[in-house]
Homo-oligomer: A and B are copies of this chain.
Amino acid sequence: MQAEILTIGDELCRGEIVDTNSSWLAGRLWELGVVVQWMTSCRDDAEDMRRAFRDAAGRAELVLVSGGLGPTEDDVTVDIVAELVSAQPVVDPPSLERMQRRFERVGYTMTPNNMRQVRVPAGAEVFANSAGLAPSFGVTIGKARVFCMPGVPREMQAIFNESVASRVLAMAAGGERIAKSVYRVFGKGESHIDHALTGIVAGVPGATVHFQVVFPETLVKLVVRDADGAAADARLARLDAELRERLGELAYGSGDESMSGVVGRHLREHGATLAVAESCTGGMLGSLLTDIPGSSDYFKGGFIVYANEVKERELGVRAETLRAHGAVSRETVEEMAAGARARLDTTYGAAISGIAGPGGGTPEKPVGTVHIAVAGPHGTKHKHILWPGTREQIRRLACYWAMAVLLKELKTHG
């Protein structure tokens, strides 16, 4: 089955916002076994929209649309689709009732424009919007099934997951089931991972493997399709075991759990606490760790020690160490980690010192040089990295390595 994704909005064609909806929908369709052949964006222009719908319905069996369902006069998706299926735009009573209740709760007075937002083409299959006001709907144009969703990403994703995905799957697979695993891999580049997984799905019916780079990690997705859900699950379980064996500890986690989430979970399970000491990352490691709700259970705090005098005074790094080895050195970062751990009386201390650039590099210590240390009850671990990226990439990579070194320590002494 071939699909087309159509996103509608002046703001897209003026470059005011990046179209993340197309990419999100394309990824979900790929997982459901549907090939996306075209992705098209056009303005809120009736003539262009007519052409876009006709072209899409002429070449694809499935068309997913987002945008143009808002309350303003610019939002004409309902009108155009109604015209193309020779129906009238009509108010959807359940959506109107939901909107009225919602407005009453916040004391908002409905304007005539709000009524636009709860219309659908008469006769369409209607899907409630659990995350917003405008309902979604499905219609048939020519040989194509067309699903229209709002442009707000949160609303579109909710409606796709709740109502559209099952219908797409029924169309795509004729009852085929999908078994899927997502692995999060850190520590080697995509080409290394690709090589390590060469041939992993060869000879496994209905299985595919898929990579997505989200710097500095790589997501690896395994998908198995089969009419028999249990058979798909069984084949996926064998692939899961094979992937874990091939990637080893490079596959640090799975699903939606981020590196800071995995590290946090292990700290909590061990009843351990953590303090950080950051130089070139300036607080980014602490910020990543506290992205996780409930991180106060294990994260006590830390020190941003940008200036050398602060490294000495707050963390007890010795002036002699800084003089002999410099701020970016194994010796300094180990004293930083030990100092943070001692000062905040935590199980572990993690420290980062490096040259994030673009200035400040030397022949001995070029831009991209970073030293990392993790101090804990089983001694201090050190890691040296040299990665010639942008300032932002070097800082982010340093934070991930600090978490990876800590995670290995937690797993080793679990």
Q: Residues on A close to B: CB < 8 A?
A: 12-20, 22-30, 35-43, 45, 48, 52, 55, 210-213, 276, 278, 280-287, 289-291, 293-296, 299-307, 309-310, 314, 343-344, 357-359, 391-392, 395
Contact = CB atoms under 8 A, between A and B. Distances in A.
Contacts of A39: 12-13, 19, 40-42
Given A37-B48, A296-B307, A358-B293, A19 B19 contact: yes
A26 B48 contact: no
Contacts of A24: 15
Contacts of A309: 300
A283 B305 contact: no
Contacts of A392: 291
Nearest to A307: B300
Given A283-B284, A344-B310, A20 B22 contact: no
Contact of A22 (B41, B306, B357): B41
Contact of A25 (B15, B23, B43): B15
A39 B24 CA distance: 17
26 contacts: A12-B39, A13-B26, A13-B35, A13-B39, A14-B210, A15-B24, A15-B27, A15-B36, A17-B23, A17-B213, A19-B19, A19-B23, A37-B48, A39-B42, A282-B289, A283-B283, A283-B304, A284-B284, A287-B287, A290-B304, A290-B306, A293-B359, A301-B310, A302-B303, A302-B304, A303-B304
Closest 4 CB pairs of A and B: A15-B27, A283-B283, A282-B290, A283-B286
Q: Which of A35, A286, A296 has its CB near the most chain B CB atoms (within 10 A)? A: A286
A14 B41 contact: no
Contacts of A304: 276, 283, 286, 290, 301-304
A216 to B, nearest CB: 15
A42 B5 CA distance: 11
A300 B35 CA distance: 53
Given A14-B27, A19-B19, A310-B344, 12 more contacts: A13-B37, A13-B38, A15-B26, A15-B27, A16-B212, A19-B23, A38-B40, A55-B55, A281-B287, A282-B290, A293-B358, A299-B306
Contacts of A302: 283, 303-304
Nearest to A36: B13
Contacts of A287: 281-284, 287, 395
A106 to B, nearest CB: 12
A212 to B, nearest CB: 5
B18 A23 contact: yes
B307 A301 contact: yes
Nearest to A35: B13
Contacts of A289: 282
A164 to B, nearest CB: 15
A27 B16 CA distance: 7
A366 to B, nearest CB: 15
